[in-house]
Amino acid sequence: MKPDRIGGFSLIELMIAVIIVGILAAIAMPSYSNYVIRGSRAAAQTELLDLASLQEKIYLNSNCYTSSVTMTYNGTSAINNCTASPVVTTGGLGRTTGLTNDGKYTLSITTSGTQQTYTITATPVAGSKQAGNGCLTIQENGLRQWHENNDACNSASPVSW
């Protein structure tokens, strides 16, 4: 008498399960990567809004904006009345590094001669997954732009965020 087959998987059944898992992983991984990139971009946008708020606080105290991301914030931006060009900056936004909290964007500020306008830029760090996604900017007038797929911030028609 031949014994009944003992429970288990045949090699064919196991291979079919592996193929199904492989197909699901091939579909899920790009979606997950895009989700992480979008999440990092949203975090950078939040940080830009925080920095813009701090810029406005500095402006109220000194009548000009700071041009430094990494200098310590000391409540004032300039030692003079902000009419000289270039303005001598004594305070900044107080970031320890010129990077966002997750390290995926480099932060920089450009100002006008007497520092009455500013643009804060978040540029993706080269070599990171964010690279190639495009830079983000915010200005003193509230203009917020995303230069989609353009890390150089020179696209002709950026998207608002």
- Give me the CATH code for the 13-160 domain, please: 3.30.700
92: which residues sit within 8 A by CB, 6+ positions away?
A: 66, 67, 68, 69, 70, 71, 72, 73
Q: pLDDT (tens digit, 0 to 9) for every residue of the chain, 161 residues total?
A: 666 667 778 899 999 999 999 999 999 998 899 999 999 999 999 999 999 999 998 888 888 888 889 888 765 544 445 666 666 666 788 888 999 999 999 999 999 878 889 999 999 999 989 999 999 999 999 999 999 999 998 888 899 99
Q: What are the residue ranges spanned by the domains of the chain?
A: 13-160
pTM (2 decimals)? 0.80
H-type alpha helices, the chain: 11-62
